Structure 1
Amino acid sequence: MRRTVAVVGGGCSGVLVTRELLRCGEESHVVVIEPDEPGGGVAYGNAQPWHLLNSRAAAMSADPDDPNHFVRWSGAAPADFRPRREYGRYLREVFDEAVAANPGRVGVRRARATRIVPEDGGAAVVLDDGTLVRADHVVLAVGGPTVAPQPFEHPRYIDDPWRPGVLEALPTDRPVLLVGTGLTAVDVALTLTADDRRSAPVVAISRRGLLPLTHTVDAAPPAEPALDDCATLRDVVRAVRSAAGEAGDWRPVVDGMRPYLDQLWTALTPQEQDAFLRHLARTWECHRHRMAPEVAARVVALREAGLLEIRRGGVAAWPGFADYAAVVNCAGPGRLPGAAGPLVGGLLERGLVRLGPHDLGLDIDPAGRLVAADGRVHERLWLIGPLRRGAQWETTAVPEIRAQAHRLATDLRPRPVLAGVA
């Protein structure tokens, strides 16, 4: 009997896991629940031409067995940083090709999931049009937490800079304040200055005032630091600094650590994880999630022209909010449960899921199955993507999500029944 797997979310995580479910489970019927066209999502759906991927084309394949799939599709060189809008088109084509190659096995419900109700032998997904999707397994692929709320009021406060048209409507002759100095703030600054008509500065503030660092034009091969004897967070930091000194550049060392980050994270004590989050996480993110060289050059030019200012300080104490035409929240994802969307928030309220470590995401078992408030592992409710943060660390980028999708689909593959075994 054919099983049904419901995938809630049609962004990058939803597309990758749908593709793997179709490849790995010949008896599976997949229903993708997504109000918009599958393949866009927050990262790619509303990107502008000047928004580039912050990873090289060689890292962005949707196919775990074909690392050059995106490189060939785009016609790019492996070291190129391609437009995010282009990558959204790629994901949509990957999805469409997977559907076409598996006739009758995929359904798309253009609606929003509002509830998930466990049932005997599966679960029901309640949609905002009042209908139900019943499935043997449900995969939650809804992206990360919502943006962190900010403790102030402004008549033109923009909590979602990705809302279509919201930035283009702002005046160019009055300054705009960005809360945050990470990659989202960089993207917003590029949009606000894209037409070269801006005469007032864009001011970005954060507690440390740190911008993302920059990729080199040419990629160096990864260099693995010596981590075997590292027993504490202090040991890891010491080993990384030593390796960066020997390599003459920290970038290959950071890249070389990537396959081991989840192992390092789970080996830390909860106290060491908390110390990392309080003291080192922002610095690490600046080194790990870097700007494309073209984007970094534009940021330098804007700063030299006085059109982009980076300030250090706490948001609550920042003076003169009224002087800004708008305040844009670019602070990045918040902590749960406050930053949970309606669907995830409802699951938390009903005890069907529980918070993961440090409230960064939801709790899962090693295979990616969701854990309820009472500690029980749901055999048929799965999680993929950024909401695994906390239980895992490296879970927001395509290579890691691609690997999660493959393992999840493999785990859901029907097992043959052995003769004579009940």
Structure 2
Amino acid sequence: MAETVAVVGGGCSGVLVTRELLRCTTGRVLLVDPADAPGRGLAYGPAHPWHLLNSRVGAMSADPDSGTDFLDWCRRRHPAVGPDDFVPREWFGDYLQETLRDATTVSGGRLRVHRARVTRITTGDGPPDTARVSRVGLELDDGGRLHADRVVLAIGHAAPADPCRIDPAVRDHPGYIADPWRPAALAGVPVDRPVLLVGTGLTAIDVTLSLIRAGHRGPIVAVSRHGLLPRMHRRRGMPFRPPATLPETAPSLRGLVRQLRAQVAGGADWRAVVDGLRPRLDALWADLPADDRDRFLRHLARHWEVHRHRMAPAVADEVARLRVAGRLEVRSAAVRGVAAHPDGGLLVALDPGYDRVPFGAVVNCTGPGALPGSTDRLVGALIADGVARPGPYGLGLDVDDDGAVVGRDGRPVLPLWTLGPPRRGRFFETTAVPEIRAQARELAVRLAAGAGAGRTTGQVAVPA
């Protein structure tokens, strides 16, 4: 009987790995996701027309064999689109849904989509009417249970963490927006009162644009420890000079930074330096001593992120106009406390100075949180059961070289793999489409070749 691979999650990672499994394997694929129409995921589901992709069209193909697949799709919608353009993020959501539909059409009935949320993954016998025993059980939030031989977690980023200790009364306050990507999350923000955005990254930029489009008239203040905004992608026609060489190894963080600064000082475009490092980042990260990795995360990670995850030029221009007009203020500050204000808003203690400033709303734009404190029900259950463990820096799950999830004792417990953001427990450059589509292909090829057979080294106790 053919094997069944369950893919948990129907966003970008789920679509890419489902497509590759159907292309590279001969078994059944079970895609489990609660969405009415899987394919868009968190990043591309609630996007509005003014939310542009943060990468050029030419970098976003779902097909590892065709770098122009997304470009060709965009040109069918608008013939003038070029590979260096930045299109609305909702376009990419449409593209992912169409990619999933195409995969379904050519699958010969091998793909089944089940609408539910997986809450736990355990060892488990197959249903009694089957001739063979499945190795994995998937418990669902609707009380049901599915079975598979292997499982791929395609669950995206961890949930945002609160920026400080939040009183339960504040958490339930209509002015505190813990997750701005929740549907209609910003609908209740007062249009004429100041709004505080905690975080100054791409999420804060998206929220700012959404508030402005919704008619917000009050000031918007964005704060973070460094007060750094994402940098801008190179404009079309800007001078471009690639680096002469890039480091292959990283004996020390200090030495690595020195080499990169020398390239930029010598005239290389810093964007080309950053982009050129991407294919070798994981090797460089692994080369660094543990103390240097700690030092990087404490002192340099934010500087890297604003250069690595950039704004489209049109978005950067709009942000600049808002700042000049006084509509958006960016400050270097930390949130020390949030309390309910008698006037119905929120009172925020900001450091330095511990200023207690009133706001009509506070929006958490800090991005993915760290494990194990910031996690959803499924990942929390996997960690509690010993099936998974956080990586050493809490950036994601611990995995082996192939993306197999490592359990509490340091070995794979179940035939369970992951790809994309959860691999940040071990790998550093693993969150963008080019890396995820490559991981999806490699994982599908390994599973097709029987990779992982006999890898289960333990049993998970399933409470009665």
The TM-score bracket by the shorter chain reads over 0.9
2:413 & 2:55 partners in 1: Cα distance? 34
1:308 & 1:226 partners in 2: Cα distance? 37
Question: Partner amino acid for 1:148?
Answer: A
Structure 2 residue 221 is the aligned partner of structure 1 residue 216: no
1:264 maps to 284
2:394 & 2:216 partners in 1: Cα distance? 39
Deviation at residue 304 of structure 1 after TM alignment: 0.9
1:246 maps to 266
Q: 1:125-274, aligned counterparts within 5 Å? A: 125-151=138-164, 152-153=166-167, 154=170, 155=173, 156-195=175-214, 197-218=215-236, 220=240, 223=243, 225-228=245-248, 230-274=250-294
2:191 & 2:411 partners in 1: Cα distance? 54
- Contact 1:225/1:240, CA 8 A, preserved across alignment: no
1:87 maps to 92
SS at match of 2:213: coil
2:91 & 2:241 partners in 1: Cα distance? 26
1:221 & 1:411 partners in 2: Cα distance? 38
1:225 & 1:87 partners in 2: Cα distance? 34
2:213 & 2:413 partners in 1: Cα distance? 47
Unaligned runs of 5+ in 2: 76-80, 125-132, 337-348, 452-464
Deviation at residue 387 of structure 1 after TM alignment: 0.9
Deviation at residue 249 of structure 1 after TM alignment: 2.2
- Contact 1:222/1:255, CA 8 A, preserved across alignment: no
Aligned match of 1:299 in 319, 323, 326?
Answer: 319
Deviation at residue 320 of structure 1 after TM alignment: 5.9
Deviation at residue 104 of structure 1 after TM alignment: 0.9
1:413 & 1:129 partners in 2: Cα distance? 31
- Contact 1:225/1:257, CA 8 A, preserved across alignment: no
2:322 & 2:252 partners in 1: Cα distance? 41
2:415 maps to 380
Q: Percent identity?
A: 52
1:200 & 1:230 partners in 2: Cα distance? 47
- Contact 2:190/2:361, CA 8 A, preserved across alignment: no
Question: Partner amino acid for 2:438?
Answer: A
1:68 & 1:354 partners in 2: Cα distance? 38
> Is the alpha carbon distance of 1:342 and 1:230 closer, same or farther for their aligned partners in structure 2, counting shifts above 3 Å?
closer
Alignment RMSD (CA, Å)? 1.7
1:224 & 1:362 partners in 2: Cα distance? 36
1:32 maps to 31
1:243 & 1:142 partners in 2: Cα distance? 37
- Contact 1:140/1:383, CA 8 A, preserved across alignment: yes
Tell me the number of residue pairs that the alignment of Structure 1 and Structure 2 aligns. Answer: 414
TM-score (norm 1): 0.95
Deviation at residue 322 of structure 1 after TM alignment: 6.0
- Contact 1:224/1:253, CA 8 A, preserved across alignment: no
Question: Partner amino acid for 2:230?
Answer: P
2:20 maps to 20
> Is the alpha carbon distance of 1:285 and 1:358 closer, same or farther for their aligned partners in structure 2, counting shifts above 3 Å?
same
Unaligned runs of 5+ in 1: 417-422
SS at match of 2:103: helix
> Is the alpha carbon distance of 1:198 and 1:415 closer, same or farther for their aligned partners in structure 2, counting shifts above 3 Å?
closer
Structure 2 residue 402 is the aligned partner of structure 1 residue 367: yes
Structure 1 segments of 4+ aligned residues over 6 angstroms from their partners: none
2:104 maps to 99
TM-score (norm 2): 0.86
1:139 & 1:230 partners in 2: Cα distance? 32
- Contact 2:117/2:140, CA 8 A, preserved across alignment: yes
Q: 1:38-77, aligned counterparts within 5 Å? A: 38-75=38-75, 76-77=81-82
> Is the alpha carbon distance of 1:415 and 1:124 closer, same or farther for their aligned partners in structure 2, counting shifts above 3 Å?
closer
Q: Deviations over 1:49-75 (max 9, x none)?
A: 110111100100000000000001011
2:244 & 2:375 partners in 1: Cα distance? 36
SS at match of 2:123: strand
Structure 2 residue 426 is the aligned partner of structure 1 residue 413: no
Structure 2 residue 364 is the aligned partner of structure 1 residue 344: no
